[in-house]
Structure 1
Amino acid sequence: MTDPIIEVRDLRREFLVRGTSGRWLRRARTVVKAVDGLTFSIPEGAAVGYLGANGAGKSTTIKMLSGILVPTSGVAHTCGLEPVRDRSRLARQIGVVFGQRSQLWWDLPLSESFRVLGAIHRLSPAAQARRTDELIERLDLGGFISTSVRQLSLGQRIRGEVAAALLHSPRLLILDEPTIGLDVLSKERLRNFLVEQRQLRGTSLLLATHDMGDVQRLTERVIVVDHGRSVYDGTLPGIAELVGAERIMVVQLAAPVPPLDHIPDTRLVGVEREGTQQRLSFVPAETTAARILELVGQHAQVQDLTLEEPDIDDVIRKLYLRTAEESVQS
């Protein structure tokens, strides 16, 4: 059995915030717990979404896993190494992309940044050229590879950042809001590339994002954090089941019928096209789509149906509300 690519145990990071308080503006110091006792592990080859609201502790965790920040207490291992003590060795095994920060040289052409990074990672000229050519082709960088980074559009720069992070073929790729500000086409192009890289090379992925499209497309497991603590670790469908999120069945009927507001364990949420299309909401734990279809068939002839999954943003919001209520009750 191989060691986890990431393992944290009771990981904590506190910051001391200085300010003033009181009538006489006395100096005050407040301890802020950005990460508060996280424990989880990620096996090699996995793709995990790391979710949470702004200030939940996502970026702080990533900085500790990559050796940028020293934990206040607890244990963190990345690729079997201690991130701070073994930072140089770790840098050769991971790639990190911060959506709002750059690892590229602002005034240099993209190609020169790749050449510098190849030297830093001690790639041979042949290996660097081979990998650079592959990334140029896969990410469609050819049209701006000789353009200075400062002149690139946001979408072009992000593709360059991802290519730079993967230049040395790392075992683990950590992405912090990689698609922030990108248009729909740029997002889809980047997602397709990341899926392809994982299939070809078995690269492990830790993805911190607010974009649920990224999570659904790229990951099979999610860890949700709130105020530095893990509040969920499992699958996206598992969250929906936990909070009782609803699915929607859209039925296309052969002829108009009165509103289907009497189907057991469902809630009618819409009647369209003069009654020939109706939308029924249900909780999967309480009934099944097959049972609903059988009951609807007793009142009308069904020509077609579709199932709409719960809105993931709404599911996460409900999870936060549930966690807050449990904290108050305890």
Structure 2
Amino acid sequence: MISVRNLVKHYKVHSRPPGLAAAVRSVFRRSFQTVRAVDGISFEIQPGERVGFLGPNGAGKTTTLKMLSGLLRPTSGEARVAGFRPDARERDFLRSIMLVTGQKQQLLWDLPPAETFELNRAVYDVPRAEYRQTLDELVNLLDLSELIGKPTRQLSLGERMKCELAAALLHRPKVLFLDEPTIGLDVTMQAAVRSFIQSYNERTGATVILTSHYMDDVAALCPRVIVIDRGDLSFDGSLDALVRQIQPEKRVILRLSQPVERLAVERLGGRVISLSDAEAKLQVDGSRLRELVAAALAHLPIADLTVEDAPLEEVLAGLFARGRDRGRESAVAR
């Protein structure tokens, strides 16, 4: 469904020092620097996949999505989405995709969402019967029956986001680009949006690419992740493989029925991350997990015990740190 080959997007940015003299000089002679927003990435995504597209701020995620949706023309390289070249912006291509961003909205501010829905029906030339069927499904899935008649300005952020998703899906796109769709939402609304996205993907077979700084979104929705950093591809594979590659150790959380000495916890053999009267948290190599759990149950007053992977935020931080180290080593070599 999506094929990217050596995709590059560079910008020329005017730069000058602060001050009046520098401003005057720049009128006659400007200096530019090249910003490598995306620097030769390649990947493929199959129909129906849900893929997390991750990276730190400024990594090139949104720039890539804009190229894949036809809003930006690449400097070089090739991208194909649903068989189309995005920058050609053919009518059938535009009908097959949708880009949803959590920081921008298409809803008409002073009118009810129902008016935006009707406008989108006309823009995408959706037959009236198909539009009514799709709208009824979306209203039911997103619980919008009491919202679509209210002016948009009277809706909360979470309610507007649900209406944004409905407006984006009325023409049943085959590819859905989601750029921070849960930004600013509370925990309950984040869970509702995640549940809807997964349900829509499973019901329609649409391909979903998600960028988010909320790792709960990624862990809940995306079996596969693509990670870019400073415009370069850092990782492409399953979420489990990423965790095993960067932080293969397991976290063991021991909930205690009574306080214990730190030395007693250290004797279990793992690295103590934190210790309080009610809880001890350790990190241990997977090969020693069974031994540590057995020792904890035998020697400590355990009320409950949980084993989990390292938080995804820490895994990504470790991956980005490796990338920065490689960049410094490459600079020194040059």
TM-score where L is the length of structure 1: 0.89
Aligned partner (choices 48, 63, 67) of residue 66 of structure 2: 63
Q: 1:294 to 1:94 in 2, by over 3 A?
A: same
Quick one: distance in 2 between partners of 1:256 and 1:18?
61
Matched, 1:318 2:318: yes
Q: Is the 8 A contact 2:259 2:276 kept in 1?
A: no
Matched, 1:268 2:272: yes
Deviates more, 1:300-309 or 1:195-204: 300-309
Instruction: Return the letter of the residue paired with 1:19.
Output: S
Partner of 2:197: 194
Q: Is the 8 A contact 1:83 1:90 kept in 2?
A: yes
Deviations 1:196-245 (A, max 9, x none): 11221222110011110110111111111111111111222322222236
Aligned partner (choices 94, 97, 109) of residue 94 of structure 1: 97
Quick one: distance in 2 between partners of 1:253 and 1:212?
28
Question: Map of 1:1-330 to 2, 5 A cutoff?
Answer: 5-20=1-16, 24-25=25-26, 26-244=29-247, 246-251=249-254, 258=261, 259-264=264-269, 266-273=270-277, 278-284=280-286, 287-297=287-297, 299=299, 304-330=304-330
Q: 1:78 to 1:297 in 2, by over 3 A?
A: same
Once the two structures are TM-superposed, the CA of residue 113 in structure 1 deviates from its matched residue by 0.9
Q: 1:235 to 1:283 in 2, by over 3 A?
A: farther
Deviates more, 1:103-112 or 1:22-31: 22-31
Instruction: Return the letter of the residue paired with 2:265.
Output: L
Deviations 1:254-290 (A, max 9, x none): 88765131234x113344448xx54321133xx2422
Instruction: Return the letter of the residue paired with 2:86.
Output: P
Deviates more, 1:175-184 or 1:197-206: 197-206
Q: By percentage of residues, which structure has more helix?
A: 2
Once the two structures are TM-superposed, the CA of residue 246 in structure 1 deviates from its matched residue by 3.9
Q: Is the 8 A contact 2:247 2:310 kept in 1?
A: no
Once the two structures are TM-superposed, the CA of residue 37 in structure 1 deviates from its matched residue by 0.3
Q: Is the 8 A contact 1:68 1:84 kept in 2?
A: yes
Quick one: distance in 2 between partners of 1:146 and 1:292?
58
Once the two structures are TM-superposed, the CA of residue 304 in structure 1 deviates from its matched residue by 4.2
Q: Is the 8 A contact 1:249 1:307 kept in 2?
A: yes
Quick one: distance in 1 between partners of 2:156 and 2:274?
42
Q: Is the 8 A contact 2:251 2:308 kept in 1?
A: yes
Q: Is the 8 A contact 2:250 2:308 kept in 1?
A: yes
Q: 1:256 to 1:231 in 2, by over 3 A?
A: same
TM-score where L is the length of structure 2: 0.88
Once the two structures are TM-superposed, the CA of residue 9 in structure 1 deviates from its matched residue by 0.4
Structure 1 gap segments, 5+ residues each: none
Once the two structures are TM-superposed, the CA of residue 96 in structure 1 deviates from its matched residue by 1.5
Instruction: Return the letter of the residue paired with 1:113.
Output: T
- Identical aligned residues as a percent: 37
Deviates more, 1:101-110 or 1:157-166: 101-110
Instruction: Return the letter of the residue paired with 2:285.
Output: V
Q: Secondary structure at the match of 2:320?
A: helix
Q: Secondary structure at the match of 2:86?
A: coil
Deviates more, 1:242-251 or 1:39-48: 242-251
Q: Secondary structure at the match of 2:216?
A: helix
Number of matched residues?
Answer: 321
Q: Is the 8 A contact 1:66 1:87 kept in 2?
A: no
Deviates more, 1:81-90 or 1:222-231: 81-90
Instruction: Return the letter of the residue paired with 2:32.
Output: R
Q: Is the 8 A contact 1:48 1:221 kept in 2?
A: yes
Once the two structures are TM-superposed, the CA of residue 95 in structure 1 deviates from its matched residue by 1.9
Instruction: Return the letter of the residue paired with 1:82.
Output: R
Quick one: distance in 1 between partners of 2:188 and 2:238?
26
Q: Secondary structure at the match of 1:84?
A: helix
User: Root-mean-square deviation (CA), in Å?
Assistant: 2.2
Q: Is the 8 A contact 2:53 2:61 kept in 1?
A: yes
Quick one: distance in 2 between partners of 1:166 and 1:290?
48
Once the two structures are TM-superposed, the CA of residue 253 in structure 1 deviates from its matched residue by 6.7
